[in-house]
Structure 1
Amino acid sequence: MKLSINPTTKNIPGKKSPMVLVLLCLFFCGCASTPVSYDPLDQALASNDPRIRQVMDDPQPYDLQIRFTRIFREKDSVRFKDYDFQVDRNKYFYPASTVKFPIAVMALEKINAADKLSINTSFYVEGDTLETTFGQEVIKIFAVSDNDANNRLLEFLGQDAINNSFKSKNIGPARISHRLSVPDADEVTTRPLIVYLNDSTTASLAGSTNTPAAPLPLEGITKGSGYYENDSLIHDPFNFSLKNYYPIETQHGVLKRIIFPETFPENERFNLSSSQREFLLNAMKILPKEAGYNPVDYYDSYGKFLLFGDSKEEIPASIKIYNKVGYAYGTLTDCAYVHDEKNKIEFMVTATILVNSDGIFNDNNYEYDEIGIPFLDALGDELYKIEKNRKK
């Protein structure tokens, strides 16, 4: 249909000219047919909360990366929509204790494949003084982020087996090369485990010799302007190229496979029994006091940065956070599934932030409490409010 417009028509006070009417019609009709773009992560990061503004007014120094997943439930099915802020597998951040999550999962998977092992099997690492069980070590990892518990399970698995599991399940890029906070962290030969098959019978599980780590060719693999080594300040950037590598997309991929395994092909899932998965989920949401730790030293949010990290108050019983945090070298990371049973709110977030304003590593001078944890707490708060107000 051809529109005919008389260019000589004069404007009448209080009335629109035909040209204006046509333009208005075209404008509003066009708007009505074009869906409005809505990104909940952008909305959260635009918050006026000062804990967010002190980062987002100039995010460049913070190496910020965030993936937020909105969850849609439709009858018996689940689907996701991911929203990203600066997520880039090629930009390195130090994952710290977040690597304990897949190590715990893979240890359970290996136990599941062994005839005579269970989460209740007692064992000790050759040369170690502690006798424990696999289940106890998994609980320690999630309740208080115990480094020694992680290292014992790494001895059980070996670096190569861990890295091959990431590849075989198509989870995403990752490289676990070292233990945490021990002198021989990057030793490629793991120690044997002595396991108790019953009260009087033991067996030795041989250690493994693993592939030495190659330097990671990633952006930001060197950071800062200096670092301390043996109490001496070295005026060179700190080199992370031989460290663990566990980027946002891979962390999020592990989390999705544990919380919603049915949404993945069987060959991309972790091979856990239903009882093992239930045990793992309980461990992931456990609070330190529920695992027997002193609540004064290990308050509810000790390992829960999102929503509650900026407070030492009790976390409401209706809110469960299945997560693993990490913090070291000025980098804070939280990988979490948040579920409010009372209000029927659920979402997933994996976020990392670097807070090291002086650019010096190993000086224990990081802005965890001033900037990092308050930001992650506020981010969780904003996303929670957005999801609470979302029409389901």
Structure 2
Amino acid sequence: MKAVLFSISMLATTAVLAQSAAAPQIKAVSAAVGEDSRLLDSLLRTAPQLSQVLAHTDQYQLQIIYTQINRDSHNVPHFTRHTYHLNPQQYFNPASLVKLPVALLSLEKLHTLPSPINRSTIMSTGVAWRCQTSVPFAAPADSDRQATVGNYIKRMLLVSDNLAYNRLYEFLGQKPLNDRLQQLGYPGSRIVRRFAPCDTATNRHTNPIAFHSPSGDTLYKEPAKINPRTPAPPLGPVFAGHAYKVGSRLIHHPYDFTTANNLPLPDITALLQSALFPDAVPSAQRLKLSAADYSFLRQYLHLTPHASHFSTYAAPKYFDAYKKYLYYGRQPEAQPQAGLRIFNIVGMSHGYLADVAYFADSLHQSEFLLSAVLYVNQDGIINDANYEYDTIGESFLAQLGQLFYQYEARRPRQYRPDLTPFFQKDPQP
């Protein structure tokens, strides 16, 4: 007997797959746009600290995906997705969320390059077009400071480094990056911008790159790449706010996001899920990564800057709860919860605040996925640096994560999960 399952991509046009009953199941409780899960709706109503946002969900453009994980007797995970105000047609600026797919596809591309190139091989970046910057070959004594794919990914996942993202966006090239997202089943996703003041045409041009031995010998090089045509915006024209600032000048028109990056909440949730649970992904959508790649991703998706022992981030400003908005908010004094590991990616830009996370709790032997995005821009002006991240957004996400952590700690399970892969001792970088 075969079970009908939903594809892990969880897109609005979800494909129906037939797989054996022993395979990981992904079930969407509320797949229709605007149809809220009754469980999720009732659970949110039990938390008065969330009421300010929940009472004005249209204003805050709130979207939530909560995925329950139930293991069977063989520890195979089965996923049940609950949604609240989910609408993939509702644009939000993904900001740094795009760093996860770029990290995943960069690791995958390394496997197509000649041996001995790997994530620790020194990479140089040249210049071939306007709005490009270079990273010349260098072999510093501190290996954490070397320009390598592995270090760029660490910088993106640990502190959301924008320059590291730019280097890997250029390593992939705009067309191969977006072609691969389409092949993997994410037609609503589009990554077409560096985090730099480059226009649409210059973002189609990406730099020449080369890999080198520690002594400087060139092991491999690629010429500059150009995408003949920017991928069409999946949502058509997109505007937000009623005004925006350019320097000190106020423009009394909505801000145009039409040519910006796009990454719907279901897609980035599915990408995180595929990075952590690759066996739950249909083979056509599975990334071509090694066991070592997945271990590397697990390590840096959960580590905080200090816990990583990555020498670049020893400074006090990179506090213990850095970049863990769900559950901790952004409080430097927050103490890590015993037994809890959060594997996540965040985005913060133009008033949009998002966190996409997997919680593994060894204390209560529980686990779940939680993704949320909200818009905190009460004056409706884009680029005025007057957003309510601290006063509304981060505290909402912290309370939201704590609500689900507490619920999952009490939720009965037939089989407790074996979370050993998520609690293995992290090797030194």
| TM-score normalised according to structure 2 size | 0.79
Of 167-176 and 74-83, the range deviating more from structure 2: 167-176
Q: Which runs of structure 2 are paired with 1:360-371 in the superposition (5 Å)?
A: 360-371=381-392
330, 343, 356: which one aligns with 2:364: 343
Q: Is the 8 A contact 1:223 1:238 kept in 2?
A: yes
Q: Which runs of structure 2 are paired with 1:280-359 in the superposition (5 Å)?
A: 280-289=297-306, 290=308, 291-292=310-311, 293-294=313-314, 296-312=316-332, 313-359=334-380
Q: Which runs of structure 2 are paired with 1:228-267 in the superposition (5 Å)?
A: 228-267=245-284
**Offset from partner CA, 1:307-365 (integer Å, 9 cap, x none):** 11143223135211111101000000111111112211111111111000000001000
- Percent identical among aligned pairs is 32
Q: Which runs of structure 2 are paired with 1:205-224 in the superposition (5 Å)?
A: 205-213=222-230, 216=233, 218=235, 221-224=238-241
Higher helix share: 1
Q: Which amino acid aligns with 2:289?
A: L
Distance 2:47 2:341 in 1: 27
Q: Structure 2 unaligned runs (5+)?
A: 1-35, 128-133, 139-146, 414-429
Q: Is the 8 A contact 1:307 1:378 kept in 2?
A: yes
Distance 1:189 1:248 in 2: 27
* Number of residue-to-residue matches in the alignment: 355
1:97 and 2:85 matched = no
Distance 1:194 1:217 in 2: 33
Q: Which runs of structure 2 are paired with 1:64-83 in the superposition (5 Å)?
A: 64-76=62-74, 77-83=76-82
> What is the CA RMSD across the aligned residues, in angstroms?
2.0
Q: Is the 8 A contact 1:65 1:352 kept in 2?
A: yes
Q: Is the 8 A contact 1:222 1:240 kept in 2?
A: yes
Cα offset for 1:45?
1.9
| TM-score normalised according to structure 1 size | 0.86
- Alpha-carbon spacing, 1:217–1:277, altered in 2? closer, same or farther (3 Å): closer
Of 192-201 and 73-82, the range deviating more from structure 2: 192-201
Distance 1:168 1:38 in 2: 30
Q: Structure 1 unaligned runs (5+)?
A: 1-36
Q: Is the 8 A contact 1:156 1:207 kept in 2?
A: no
Cα offset for 1:242?
0.2
Structure (1 or 2) with the larger CA radius of gyration: 1
Aligned to 2:179: 164
- Alpha-carbon spacing, 1:40–1:183, altered in 2? closer, same or farther (3 Å): same
Cα offset for 1:221?
1.8
- SS at 1:123 equivalent: strand
Aligned to 1:144: 159
- SS at 1:356 equivalent: coil
Q: Which amino acid aligns with 2:328?
A: F
Aligned to 1:190: 206
Q: Is the 8 A contact 2:189 2:234 kept in 1?
A: no
Of 177-186 and 223-232, the range deviating more from structure 2: 177-186
Cα offset for 1:276?
1.1
Q: Which runs of structure 2 are paired with 1:40-51 in the superposition (5 Å)?
A: 40-50=39-49
Distance 2:199 2:188 in 1: 25
Distance 1:302 1:212 in 2: 38
Cα offset for 1:219?
7.8
Cα offset for 1:38?
7.8
Aligned to 2:60: 62
Q: Which amino acid aligns with 1:120?
A: S
